[in-house]
């Protein structure tokens, strides 16, 4: 008889920090201690607190252990599972208010990281075993599909989704119910349901976590969508770089077929639906819906002009709905709990919750799901644990290379679709990259633009050539060769590219540049006019000098300097010859007296 469940995260984050070895060691140790018939080990999806992985939760107590290694396993088995005593040094107990008492563990929902979260799309991640359809069913899985097929008309399903106010979670924020309505209205004997799991934004991994932690939620929602619009075939387009997600999807699809939750005559309703996987080869543009459809068709992933929209003429020329993973992950809950429940969360025009991937200069790197309208301050400082090393918050980038930055002065902006657009950023798929005072905003704009230049498919001129010209200007500015008028050129080019590109890749590529100019114009000006990088990131603009009062004349820096730019007499202040200096920074790292400064 099982008396305890040990949940171990098997998401990508914890897998890379060694959760598989922990699981194997635990299973072995349980056999050795003859506890294997009393304690069940369950692998789950992502808990969200990726920075503290591998993560382990032991029920019924609900004890949360973080950074568990193989070596900790014998102690956990002996102390916790056998004797019922906490392994205090591993307990994660940060309530976010500074009071940490390891001997008195708080429940997961009381920790600072979780207490403001509201998990809808991630509800089963970290709770069930994603490779067990039975556990999904135990959590009301497939009952939304059953309810729709046996008790609702397709129109009723669409109306319900419309009433909930759900908007697409992939970035654009188009109302999901309206999209379904368009596809349902299109007359054709063949229609398709597509899931966009080609998550390409640097720093975004919420779709991966849903697929890894709760793959059946996506499958169930796609079947519901198929019923709503009259489609019998679905495709999930997932990145080949997500091997764990692919494996779990394959297992989940096989299990659903076995239970006849995919296949013919589901729930005896006469409705047929099946799903196939297609793997993306890693082109960012394939996350754009028309390029994705072109890629599924077996062609080179290039976007096509809209209209016609996919709802009219999509995959193989047939009416198609294409939604993002996170959008699908909300559907079953909306059907079961009602549109009013969903609409009670969030703001007037942005209902429900949104998952964000926190990355960059933040304590708790990981996944968080919050009601729409939560402020950036709450996300960063209450849930995210603030900025490490006592640094100051400077800006956050939302929407990855398609989005924009939110400066510190707007930290109290409620996060929803419309307020982000109004400040020149966008929701995007939910990557949230945090930057501290050491980040150069010109450099970060260049980083994102480099990405889009690389990923431009080359089909249309503004995107292919325009973004490259912008990058050349940024290169010039960051290497100290910026010219008067460069900022204006960037703005003009950027606005033209936005209005003339064929697809969303080009239409949004200038955003990081335009939004950093909007909020950090002074930094651009400092680079161009004073040839100075205020954050000290742009190497070509840095200059190292020795503070003569602090220099003891130890000569260490001059010995380490690779180009012999530092000279002087022992026990007297040394000097750096600026014409020889290559700005490598070795002298500063070497100096024991902090006598070298970088400007």
Partner 1 sequence: MKTLAELAAIKAKMQEKVAMREGAASTRIVVGMATCGIAAGARPVLNAFVEEINKEGLFDKVTVTQTGCIGICQFEPVVEVYTPDNEKVTYVKMTAEKVKRVVSEHIKGGNIVSEYTIGNAK
By the rule CB under 8 A, 75 interacts with partner 1: no
Q: Which range binds partner 1 by CB under 8 A, 77-85, 291-299, 451-459, 548-556?
A: 77-85
Residue 2 near residue 40, CB atoms below 8 Å: yes
Q: How far is Cα 184 from Cα 195, in angstroms, rounded to an integer? A: 17
The pattern of x and - marking residues 355 through 374 that bind partner 1 according to CB under 8 A reads --------------------
Closer by beta carbon to partner 1, 88 or else 185: 88
Q: How far is the CB of 271 from partner 1 (least distance, A)?
A: 12
Helix, coil or strand: residue 498: helix
From 82, 581, 586, 588, residue interacting with partner 1 (rule: CB under 8 A): 82
Closer by beta carbon to partner 1, 3 or else 102: 3
Closer by beta carbon to partner 1, 7 or else 587: 7
Token reading at 217: 């939620």
Closer by beta carbon to partner 1, 138 or else 254: 138
Closer by beta carbon to partner 1, 146 or else 480: 146
By the rule CB under 8 A, 571 interacts with partner 1: no
Closer by beta carbon to partner 1, 42 or else 52: 42
Q: Which range binds partner 1 by CB under 8 A, 259-267, 338-346, 480-488, 547-555?
A: 259-267
CA pseudo-torsion sign 14, 284, 434, 475: positive
Report the DSSP pairing between strands 393-398 and 431-436.
Answer: antiparallel
From 114, 142, 309, 524, residue interacting with partner 1 (rule: CB under 8 A): 142
Torsion of the alpha carbons at 304, 310, 315 and 320, rounded to the nearest 10: 170
Q: How far is the CB of 422 from partner 1 (least distance, A)?
A: 41
Closer by beta carbon to partner 1, 1 or else 187: 1
Closer by beta carbon to partner 1, 142 or else 284: 142
- Laid out side by side, the sheet with 320-324 consists of 263-266, 271-280, 233-239, 192-197, 320-324
Residues 90-129 contacting partner 1, CB under 8 A: 107, 127-128
Residue 431 near residue 400, CB atoms below 8 Å: yes
Closer by beta carbon to partner 1, 61 or else 250: 61
Q: How far is Cα 303 from Cα 287, in angstroms, rounded to an integer? A: 10
By the rule CB under 8 A, 268 interacts with partner 1: yes
Residue 132 near residue 149, CB atoms below 8 Å: no
- Expressed in angstroms, the distance from the first to the final Cα of the chain is 67
486 closest CA partner among 468, 507, 472, 501: 472
Q: How far is Cα 546 from Cα 112, in angstroms, rounded to an integer? A: 44
From 16, 24, 32, 85, residue interacting with partner 1 (rule: CB under 8 A): 85
From 24, 101, 104, 138, residue interacting with partner 1 (rule: CB under 8 A): 138
Q: Which range binds partner 1 by CB under 8 A, 134-142, 296-304, 373-381, 482-490?
A: 134-142
Closer by beta carbon to partner 1, 38 or else 163: 38
Q: How far is Cα 570 from Cα 553, in angstroms, rounded to an integer? A: 5
Token reading at 566: 């530092």
Q: How far is the CB of 143 from partner 1 (least distance, A)?
A: 6
Q: How far is Cα 432 from Cα 397, in angstroms, rounded to an integer? A: 6
By the rule CB under 8 A, 305 interacts with partner 1: no
From 22, 90, 245, 261, residue interacting with partner 1 (rule: CB under 8 A): 261
DSSP per residue, 525-577: HHHHHS---TTS--GGG--EEE-TTT-----HHHHH-TT--EE--TTS--EE-
Closer by beta carbon to partner 1, 4 or else 500: 4
Size of the site for partner 1 (CB under 8 A): 35
Q: Count of CB atoms within 10 A of residue 212's CB? A: 27
Phi and psi, residue 96, nearest 5° = 85, -5
By the rule CB under 8 A, 182 interacts with partner 1: no
Q: Which residues pair with 239 in a beta bridge?
A: 280
Token reading at 109: 């929902």
From 74, 146, 414, 480, residue interacting with partner 1 (rule: CB under 8 A): 146
Phi and psi, residue 4, nearest 5° = -150, 140
Q: How far is the CB of 137 from partner 1 (least distance, A)?
A: 5
From 250, 259, 421, 485, residue interacting with partner 1 (rule: CB under 8 A): 259
Angle between helices 467-478 and 486-500 (to 10 degrees): 160
H/E segment holding residue 13 = helix 12-16
Contacts of 157 (CB under 8 A, 6+ apart): 148, 180, 224, 227, 228, 335
Q: How far is the CB of 14 from partner 1 (least distance, A)?
A: 18
Q: What CA–CA distances, in Å, run from 590 to 194, 563, 585?
A: 56, 15, 9
By the rule CB under 8 A, 4 interacts with partner 1: yes
Token reading at 231: 């489609």
Closer by beta carbon to partner 1, 7 or else 275: 7
Q: Which range binds partner 1 by CB under 8 A, 23-31, 142-150, 218-226, 477-485?
A: 142-150
249 closest CA partner among 266, 232, 236: 236
From 83, 97, 298, 412, residue interacting with partner 1 (rule: CB under 8 A): 83
Residue 22 near residue 73, CB atoms below 8 Å: yes
By the rule CB under 8 A, 260 interacts with partner 1: yes
By the rule CB under 8 A, 150 interacts with partner 1: yes
Q: How far is Cα 235 from Cα 106, in angstroms, rounded to an integer? A: 42
By the rule CB under 8 A, 157 interacts with partner 1: no
By the rule CB under 8 A, 3 interacts with partner 1: yes
The pattern of x and - marking residues 20 through 49 that bind partner 1 according to CB under 8 A reads ------------------x-----------
Closer by beta carbon to partner 1, 7 or else 445: 7
List of residues contacting partner 1 (CB under 8 A): 1-5, 7, 38, 59-62, 82-85, 107, 127-128, 134-135, 137-140, 142-143, 146, 150, 259-261, 265-268
């Amino acid at each position: 008889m099982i008396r305890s469940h040990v949940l171990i995260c098997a998401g990508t984050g914890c897998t890379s920090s060694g959760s598989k070895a922990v699981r194997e060691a635990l299973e072995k140790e349980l056999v050795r201690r003859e506890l294997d018939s009393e304690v069940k080990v369950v692998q789950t999806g992502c808990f969200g607190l990726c920075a503290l992985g591998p993560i382990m939760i032991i029920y019924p107590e609900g004890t949360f252990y973080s950074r568990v290694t193989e070596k900790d396993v014998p102690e956990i088995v002996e102390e916790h599972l056998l004797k019922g005593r906490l392994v205090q040094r591993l307990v994660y107990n940060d309530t976010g208010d500074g009071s940490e008492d390891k001997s008195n563990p708080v429940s997961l929902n009381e920790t600072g990281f979780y207490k403001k979260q509201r998990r809808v799309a991630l509800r089963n991640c970290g709770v069930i075993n994603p490779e067990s359809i039975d556990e999904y069913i135990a959590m009301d899985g497939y009952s939304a599909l059953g309810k729709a097929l046996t008790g609702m008309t397709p129109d009723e399903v669409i109306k319900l989704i419309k009433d909930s106010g759900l908007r697409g979670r992939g970035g654009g924020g188009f109302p999901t119910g309206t999209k379904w309505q368009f596809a349902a209205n299109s007359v054709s004997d063949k229609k398709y349901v597509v899931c966009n799991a080609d998550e390409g934004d640097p720093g975004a991994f919420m779709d991966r976590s849903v697929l890894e932690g709760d793959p059946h939620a996506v499958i169930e929602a796609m079947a519901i969508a198929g019923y709503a619009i009259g489609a019998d075939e679905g495709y999930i387009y997932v990145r080949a770089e997500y091997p764990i997600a692919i494996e779990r999807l394959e297992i989940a699809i096989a299990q659903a077929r076995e239970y006849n939750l995919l296949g013919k005559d589901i729930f005896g309703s006469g409705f047929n639906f099946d799903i196939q996987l297609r793997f993306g080869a890693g082109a960012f543009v394939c996350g754009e819906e028309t390029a994705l459809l072109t890629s599924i068709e077996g062609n080179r992933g290039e976007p096509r002009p809209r209209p016609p929209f996919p709802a009219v003429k999509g995959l193989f020329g047939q009416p198609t709905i294409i939604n993002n993973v996170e959008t699908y992950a909300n559907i079953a809950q909306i059907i079961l709990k009602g549109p009013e429940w969903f609409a009670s969360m969030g703001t007037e025009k942005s209902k429900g919750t949104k998952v964000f991937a926190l990355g960059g200069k933040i304590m708790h790197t990981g996944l968080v799901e919050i009601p729409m309208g939560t402020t950036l301050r709450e996300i960063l400082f209450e849930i995210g644990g603030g900025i490490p090393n006592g640094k100051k918050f400077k800006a956050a980038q939302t929407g990855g290379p398609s989005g924009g930055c939110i400066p510190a002065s707007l930290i109290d902006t409620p996060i929803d679709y419309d307020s982000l657009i109004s400040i020149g950023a966008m929701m995007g798929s939910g990557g949230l990259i945090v930057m501290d005072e050491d980040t150069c905003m010109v450099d970060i704009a260049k980083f994102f633009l480099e990405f889009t230049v690389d990923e431009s498919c080359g089909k249309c001129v503004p995107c292919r050539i325009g973004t490259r010209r912008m990058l050349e200007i940024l290169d010039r500015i960051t290497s100290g060769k910026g010219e008067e008028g460069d900022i204006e050129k960037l703005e003009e080019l950027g606005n033209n590219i936005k209005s003339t590109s064929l697809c969303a890749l080009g239409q949004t590529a200038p955003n990081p540049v335009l939004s950093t100019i909007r909020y950090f114009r002074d930094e651009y000006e400092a680079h161009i006019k004073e040839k100075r990088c205020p954050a000290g990131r742009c190497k070509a603009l840095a200059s190292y000098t020795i503070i003569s009062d602090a220099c003891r004349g130890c000569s260490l820096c001059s010995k380490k300097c690779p180009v012999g730019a530092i000279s002087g007499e022992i026990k007297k202040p040394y000097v750096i010859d600026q014409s020889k200096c290559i700005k490598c920074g070795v002298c500063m790292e070497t100096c024991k007296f902090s006598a070298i400064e970088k400007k």
